[in-house]
Homo-oligomer: A and B are copies of this chain.
Amino acid sequence: MSERIYRDPVHNIIRLRTDTAEGALLVRLIDTPEFQRLRRIKQLGLALYTYQGAEHSRFAHSLGVLHLVRRVLDKLSERYEIKEDDRAAVCAAALLHDIGHGSFSHVMEAVAGFHHEAWTIAAVLSEATQVNRVLREYSEAMPARVASVIDGTFRPNALAQLVSSQLDVDRMDYLLRDSLMTGAKYGIYDLEWIINALAIDEANDRTYVMARGLYAVEEYLQARYYMFRQVYFHRTLRSAEAVLRSILRRAFELVTAGNESEMYLADDTAFARMIHGATLTLADHLEMDDADVMFHVKQWQRARDPILRDLSCRFIERRLFKAVDLDMPPTERTTFVCAAREAVEAAGFDAAYYFVEDQASDVPHTPYHAPTDTLDERKRIYVEDGYARPVLREITEVSQVARGLERGYKLHRICFPPEVKADIYRLYRTVAPPTR
């Protein structure tokens, strides 16, 4: 028996037998340049400005997702028959689900106008990638099947749900990993109990959670909620993203305005093409990683353009923007935002780059709302209700906790240089607080 072993801070040992068809496929996928690139992309982007330990890569996360899907499939195989082929497709999809991810996705996707899921599917389907070649060597149908897990059209749906749904191995891994790495404990939940409670509703081709797993799933939903509030939406992280976004926009506008000489740009790189506004090819996209961004921003600390130079220095030295939550009656919000913007400009800053309105929201549990919303239906969490008279129900019908979390979390802030903090705080204290 030959095998490959990875040691992992979250799951300890991740073991892949290389003498089975599935194992050999997965090991070869890991060894492709497209997958190795994920080592150079941080899972949490700029979160390390808030939680200095959050330096883990998408590579480590993707291995964790693969590990979890295999554990779940092994467990389900005790009760259900799962075809070898379906299993391989689902495992490959779990491993590859992030290969289209770019560096600092939240910022770059907005600037370059793409979505990482589309790139993932492209990387799987394009015959130019090694990932595609390895998949095809397993079977001609494999690339399309893997892509269908990611786009949600794979059947059996129950297996696709393991990789992409409200309760999937992607979330299961990142909550634990991000918790461990940030040092914040909010994302910890009872993984073993959930794995043990997962089951398949064969009649409806969907997964569900056995009655005894309800509390563990509630805990998982709460974990997700708190991770959003405390980590993913942390004001320092969002503010760092705001600064980086201003930097990239400024670079883009300098180039557009023909002022490329004001700044450094490494010739003949995908990054330079992106800043020039070119339509990126798949190869371009897969060339870029965190080093491109960091290297250029470092050079831009000496740019001739004063805005690009100043913002780049702030970013590298971690002198980020401050942020204030717009927790006030909506009627007062517009007035406050205008006044704050004026304060920024009065202090001599170009508001186009130094004043950022930041909005985001997340719903830790998205239940079923409209019968036509078929995608959501396939991704919902169902639980067994009752011990002696069991029936499956959508979790919000059964759980007050899940219902409470349905509302999600809305973030609405403004970010601005620390130099105007006193001014804006003064304004802020004159505004009425929201009614509770």
Q: Are B52 and A425 in contact (CB under 8 A)?
A: no
Q: Are A36 and B196 in contact (CB under 8 A)?
A: no
Q: Are A318 and B400 in contact (CB under 8 A)?
A: no
Q: Are B219 and A215 in contact (CB under 8 A)?
A: no
Which residues from B are CB-within-8-Å of A222?
219, 222, 401
Which residues from B are CB-within-8-Å of A7?
51, 53, 182-184
Which residues from B are CB-within-8-Å of A114?
none
Among A33, A59, A183, A393, max chain B CB count under 10 A is at: A183
Among A182, A298, A318, max chain B CB count under 10 A is at: A298
Bound: A51/B291 CA distance, A: 20
Q: How many copies does the complex hold?
A: 4
Which residues from B are CB-within-8-Å of A185?
188-190, 193
Among A1, A185, A289, A433, max chain B CB count under 10 A is at: A185
Which residues from B are CB-within-8-Å of A257?
none
Which residues from B are CB-within-8-Å of A219?
186, 222, 226
For residues 356 through 404 of chain A, which have their beta carbon under 8 Å from a beta carbon of chain B? Answer: 385-389, 393, 397-398, 400-401, 404
Which residues from B are CB-within-8-Å of A184?
7, 190
- Residue in B closest to A215 when the chains form the complex, CB atoms: B226
Whether a CB of chain B sits under 8 angstroms from the CB of A280 is no
Bound: A229/B436 CA distance, A: 30
Q: Are B193 and A13 in contact (CB under 8 A)?
A: yes
Nearest chain B CB to A180's CB is how many angstroms away?
6
For residues 1 through 55 of chain A, which have their beta carbon under 8 Å from a beta carbon of chain B? Answer: 1, 5-10, 12-13, 15, 17, 31, 33, 36, 39-40, 42, 48, 51-53, 55
Q: Are A53 and B1 in contact (CB under 8 A)?
A: no
Q: Are A52 and B6 in contact (CB under 8 A)?
A: yes
Q: Are B60 and A388 in contact (CB under 8 A)?
A: no
Q: Are A183 and B36 in contact (CB under 8 A)?
A: no
Whether a CB of chain B sits under 8 angstroms from the CB of A429 is yes
Bound: A10/B180 CA distance, A: 9
Please judge, given known A-B contacts A180-B9, A425-B388, whether A404 and B400 are in contact too, CB under 8 Å: yes
Bound: A377/B60 CA distance, A: 43
Q: Which of B1, B59, B193 contacts A52 (CB 8 A)?
A: B59
Which residues from B are CB-within-8-Å of A12?
183, 192
Which residues from B are CB-within-8-Å of A266?
264, 266, 295, 299
Nearest chain B CB to A340's CB is how many angstroms away?
13
Which residues from B are CB-within-8-Å of A347?
none
Q: Which of B287, B295, B436 contacts A292 (CB 8 A)?
A: B295
Q: Are B78 and A52 in contact (CB under 8 A)?
A: no
Which residues from B are CB-within-8-Å of A48?
39, 57
Please judge, given known A-B contacts A13-B192, A60-B52, A389-B433, whether A36 and B215 are in contact too, CB under 8 Å: no
Whether a CB of chain B sits under 8 angstroms from the CB of A411 is no
Whether a CB of chain B sits under 8 angstroms from the CB of A153 is no
Which residues from B are CB-within-8-Å of A316?
33, 36
Whether a CB of chain B sits under 8 angstroms from the CB of A230 is yes
Whether a CB of chain B sits under 8 angstroms from the CB of A327 is yes
Bound: A378/B7 CA distance, A: 32
Bound: A36/B15 CA distance, A: 37
Q: Are A269 and B17 in contact (CB under 8 A)?
A: no
Which residues from B are CB-within-8-Å of A60?
52-53, 55
Nearest chain B CB to A59's CB is how many angstroms away?
6
Nearest chain B CB to A168's CB is how many angstroms away?
21
Which residues from B are CB-within-8-Å of A182?
7, 9
Whether a CB of chain B sits under 8 angstroms from the CB of A56 is yes
Q: Are A436 and B398 in contact (CB under 8 A)?
A: yes
Whether a CB of chain B sits under 8 angstroms from the CB of A83 is no
A8-B183, A40-B294, A266-B299 given; 10 more Cβ-contact pairs under 8 Å: A6-B183, A7-B184, A9-B181, A13-B193, A39-B52, A266-B295, A290-B291, A291-B294, A292-B295, A327-B386
Question: Nearest 8 pairs between A and B by C-beta?
Answer: A7-B183, A291-B294, A295-B295, A9-B53, A33-B317, A291-B295, A52-B60, A8-B183
10 of the cross-chain contacts (CB-CB < 8 Å) are A6-B52, A8-B53, A9-B53, A33-B317, A39-B318, A48-B57, A291-B291, A292-B298, A389-B428, A404-B404
